[in-house]
């Protein structure tokens, strides 16, 4: 039997959600303006969005682009980060470049990229790719750097080549940190996706949001916010589960989901 205390702490996030929705509801009722519908009104608008075929396709397309951009970024960034972590030369080479591009919001590159590549999927996926790469490279770098030299010496003594050591020692040892980077990257992917769609209004969730804003369909605006919020929370929770499975052996990392924008 679960003790009441454990029950409360497990359901605390859910309670927090309900609490926040409750505050929203009350605030909306108090303010009583058109532009701030109550939580219930917004929630009621959700099925109509998800039910509308057009919107649903839009949203799914967004998610697909996000997935591709994210995966590509991960595949490229992890090896790069690991190499930076173990080789000072490689690190010195790439570090300043990364530091300079860090404050540039990748979604802001949308207009330029659109100029070059047109308005297709590739532009959006490229932006997501760029946005996700940075945190994954950084965390892979940190994780690889922290791997104890002595572990690698043991590996070398056992006859492992440099590449084998990278794959079989550095990668697993750095995995917790890498996954933290991926988690940040995932949040960034979602944000970059939404933002780039808000900027390059064309299709996707961000577009739906601003269309509804322009057309005065305020319920839809807030409903869409809830949907996007739920996507963010859902993806994050799913990732945490996956992370727990993959790195059961490491101490629970402090949950700092460094969300950007």
Partner 1 sequence: MNARAVTSDVLLGIVPIALLVALWQAIASFGYAPVTLLPPPGLVFMRLAQQLLTSRFQHEIAATLFRLFTGFSIAVVLGVTIGLLAAASPAINAVVRPIVRVLAPLPKVALYPALLLLLGFGHESKITLVAADALFPILLSTYYGASMVEQKLIWSAMAAGTPRRQILFKVVLPAAVPSILTGCRIGLVISCIVVFLAEMITSTDGLGHVLVTAARTFQAVDMFVPLITISLLGLILNGLLQAVRSYLLRGFPEV
Site residues (vs partner 1, CB under 8 A): 12-13, 15-17, 19-20, 35-36, 88-89, 92-97, 99-105, 107-109, 111-112, 114-116, 187, 190-191, 194-195, 198-199, 209-210, 212-213, 218, 221-222, 224-225, 228-229, 232-233, 235-237, 254-261
What secondary structure letter does DSSP report for 142? H
Indicate the residue among 169 and 191 with the shorter CB distance to partner 1.
191
Indicate the residue among 133 and 165 with the shorter CB distance to partner 1.
133
Cβ of residue 190: shortest distance to partner 1, in angstroms?
5
Residues 6+ apart with CB under 8 A from 117: 123, 126
For 38-63, letters b (16+ CB in 10 Å) and e give bbeebbebbeebeeeeebeebbeebb
Cβ of residue 74: shortest distance to partner 1, in angstroms?
18
Indicate the residue among 73 and 221 with the shorter CB distance to partner 1.
221
Indicate the residue among 172 and 250 with the shorter CB distance to partner 1.
250
- Give the torsion sign (CA, 59, 69, 137, 83): positive
CA–CA dist 77, 188 (Å, integer): 14
H or E stretch covering 26 = helix 4-31
Cβ of residue 168: shortest distance to partner 1, in angstroms?
29
Indicate the residue among 153 and 252 with the shorter CB distance to partner 1.
252
Q: How far is CA 17 from CA 23, 71, 116, 220, in A?
A: 10, 30, 42, 20
Cβ of residue 101: shortest distance to partner 1, in angstroms?
7
């Amino acid at each position: 039997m679960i003790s009441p205390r454990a029950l409360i702490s497990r359901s605390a996030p859910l309670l927090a959600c309900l609490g926040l929705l409750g505050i929203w509801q009350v605030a909306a009722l108090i303010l009583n303006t058109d532009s701030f519908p109550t939580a219930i009104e917004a929630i009621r608008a959700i099925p109509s969005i998800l039910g509308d075929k057009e919107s649903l396709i839009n949203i799914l397309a967004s998610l697909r682009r996000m997935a591709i951009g994210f995966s590509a970024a991960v595949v490229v960034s992890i090896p790069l980060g690991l190499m930076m972590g173990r080789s000072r030369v490689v690190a010195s080479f790439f570090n300043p470049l990364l530091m300079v591009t860090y404050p540039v919001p990748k979604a802001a590159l949308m207009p330029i990229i659109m100029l070059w590549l047109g308005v297709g999927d590739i532009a959006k996926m490229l932006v997501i790719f760029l946005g996700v790469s940075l945190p994954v490279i950084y965390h892979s770098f940190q994780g690889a750097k922290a791997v104890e030299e002595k572990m690698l010496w043991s590996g070398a003594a056992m006859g492992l080549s440099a590449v084998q050591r990278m794959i079989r020692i550095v990668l697993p040892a750095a995995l917790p940190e890498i996954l933290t980077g991926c988690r940040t990257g995932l949040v960034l992917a979602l944000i970059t996706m939404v933002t780039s769609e808000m900027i390059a209004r064309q299709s996707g969730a961000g577009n739906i949001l601003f269309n509804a804003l322009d057309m005065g369909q305020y319920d839809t605006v807030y409903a869409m916010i809830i949907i996007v919020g739920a996507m963010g929370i859902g993806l994050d929770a799913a990732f945490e589960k996956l992370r727990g499975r993959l790195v059961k052996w490491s101490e629970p990392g402090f949950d700092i989901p460094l969300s950007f924008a």
